[in-house]
Amino acid sequence: MDIGEFVTVFQDGGVRAWLDWDALESAGCAVRERFSRSPDVLGGLFTVWYQAANGTDGDWRNPGDRPLRVAECADAMDIWPTDRRERIRGFADAFRGEARPVQLVLPAYAVGGDEAVLLDGTHRAVAAYLAGVDVRIMLFVLDGPIDPRMLPDLGHYR
């Protein structure tokens, strides 16, 4: 997949992270495809959800708040707003009822090595991890500058 295809698939697909779509091509971003069946790979992905130092729901705007990985989100259900918890639980219940592996197609942004932050699909990713189901993960990872102008969350990864 090239950057143009990434934009075609994911920009209109409802990516909610504040990605600067116009800057992707000019920044020289490339797209790397990764496939995994590992719950550890899923659990290790960073999210755009944060936890404050006092253990409450955090925000990317707060330099002291830290981005959580999918596995940490599954363990922090009690700090999330009610609508987020309910949505995650709804997906987890549906995933447990599936006879086949859960397939997750997830856009992400590389933040160093094999580490990446999810740009969308976080509710589904956390739910699949929480449900403990068999997963098939297809990641489309943007390789670009670690620059908060590309994605504000990237300021936490410098």
pLDDT digits (tens, 9 = 90+) for 18-63: 899 989 888 989 999 999 999 999 999 999 999 999 999 999 999 9
Angstrom distances, CA of residue 30 to CA of 4, 12, 80, 140: 10, 19, 33, 10
Write out the two tokens for 3: 């950057």
Q: In terms of DSSP bridges, do strands 66-69 and 102-112 run parallel, antiparallel, or are they unpaired?
A: unpaired
pLDDT in tens, 68-125: 999 999 888 888 899 999 999 999 999 999 999 999 999 999 999 889 999 999 999 9
Strands 135-143 and 102-112: what pairing? parallel
What's the whole-model pTM score? 0.94
> ∠ CA(13), CA(19), CA(20), 5° rounding?
115
